[in-house]
């Protein structure tokens, strides 16, 4: 069985675990292959505890999205949905990957044991980009498009107070030039819950960071732009 909230699961026996909410007496959870949850393959609306275990029988080597909500009145009314977490299932792998709390890391898709974490969490900006595909034309010849998927454009910023050590910069260069396509994994706290998210990404342009100050070539600042693939 995969570890609870593994970012990369190598077993389809999945456990999702989230924060207890004071006063809550019922929870619900949804799991989907789509970021907008237009279709869900796993749903439980009557959970007595803030965890859910199930068998994930969906497509192997793919990303899943999940979210939860709670009720304080036995399901009459519900909170807003939580922040969306994500995980990846690949049962052909030998090692799962579970990020430590507060960590951003780069992980090799074919070998999750080959991973490197940022010493300081970067400031980040994640822009969801929608991709459409043509479905049909109406009688006027107007194109009708079908919503297909959403992927992320990601920017990681390393300012002077959130610098990167040169060793980590070398690792980023290795992932960029040797691994090329890799996982970016984040385990962040939104003030209520620890949220694990995963993206399969490539770096858009060659990383080009600068030293923090004269004589401090060991510390790097700047930005890295990635795109989900």
Identify whether the C-beta of residue 152 lies closer than 8 Å to the C-beta of residue 198: no
What is residue 163's three-state secondary structure? Answer: coil
Q: Band the pLDDT of 3: cuts 50, 70, 90.
A: confident
- Residue from 106, 54, 107, 45 nearest 76 by CA: 45
pTM: predicted TM-score of the whole model, two decimal places = 0.89
> For 185-213, how does the pLDDT look when each residue is reduced to its tens digit (9 = 90+)?
999 998 889 999 999 999 999 998 998 88
Average confidence (pLDDT) over 94-100: 96
Q: Band the pLDDT of 163: cuts 50, 70, 90.
A: confident
Residue whose tokens read 């930005």: 223
Residue 186 and residue 196: Cα distance in Å, rounded? Answer: 6
Strands 8-9, 85-89: parallel, antiparallel or unpaired by DSSP? parallel
CATH of domain 8-98: 2.60.40.10
Question: Which of 54-58, 137-141, 185-189, 214-218 is least confident?
Answer: 137-141
Average confidence (pLDDT) over 213-227: 90
* Residues recorded for the chain: 229
Q: Band the pLDDT of 178: cuts 50, 70, 90.
A: very high
Q: Where in the chain is the domain with CATH 2.60.40.10?
A: 8-98
Q: Band the pLDDT of 76: cuts 50, 70, 90.
A: very high
Identify whether the C-beta of residue 37 lies closer than 8 Å to the C-beta of residue 67: yes
Cβ neighbourhood burial of 13 (10 Å; 0-12, 13-18, 19+): exposed
> For 11-66, how does the pLDDT look when each residue is reduced to its tens digit (9 = 90+)?
999 999 999 999 999 999 999 999 999 999 999 999 999 999 999 999 999 999 99
Average confidence (pLDDT) over 105-132: 91
């Amino acid at each position: 069985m995969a570890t609870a909230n593994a970012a990369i699961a190598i077993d389809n026996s999945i456990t999702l675990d989230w924060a207890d909410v004071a006063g809550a007496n019922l929870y619900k959870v949804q799991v989907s292959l789509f970021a907008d949850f237009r279709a869900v393959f796993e749903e439980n609306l009557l959970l007595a505890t803030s965890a859910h275990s199930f068998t994930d029988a969906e497509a192997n080597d793919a990303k899943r999205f999940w979210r939860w909500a709670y009720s304080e009145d036995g399901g009459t009314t519900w909170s807003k949905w939580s922040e969306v977490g994500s995980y990846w299932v690949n049962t052909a792998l030998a090692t799962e990957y579970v990020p430590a709390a507060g960590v951003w890391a780069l992980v090799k898709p074919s070998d999750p044991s080959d991973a490197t974490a940022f010493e300081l969490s970067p400031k980040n900006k994640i822009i969801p980009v929608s991709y459409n595909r043509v479905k049909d034309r109406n009688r006027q010849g107007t194109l009708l498009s079908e919503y297909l998927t959403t992927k992320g454009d990601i920017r990681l910023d390393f300012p002077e107070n959130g610098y990167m050590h040169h060793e980590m910069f070398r690792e980023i260069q290795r992932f960029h030039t040797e691994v090329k396509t890799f996982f970016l994994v984040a385990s962040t706290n939104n003030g209520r819950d620890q949220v694990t998210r995963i993206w399969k990404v490539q770096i858009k342009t060659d990383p080009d960071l600068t030293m923090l100050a004269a004589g401090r070539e060991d510390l790097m600042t700047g930005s890295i732009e990635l795109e989900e693939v």
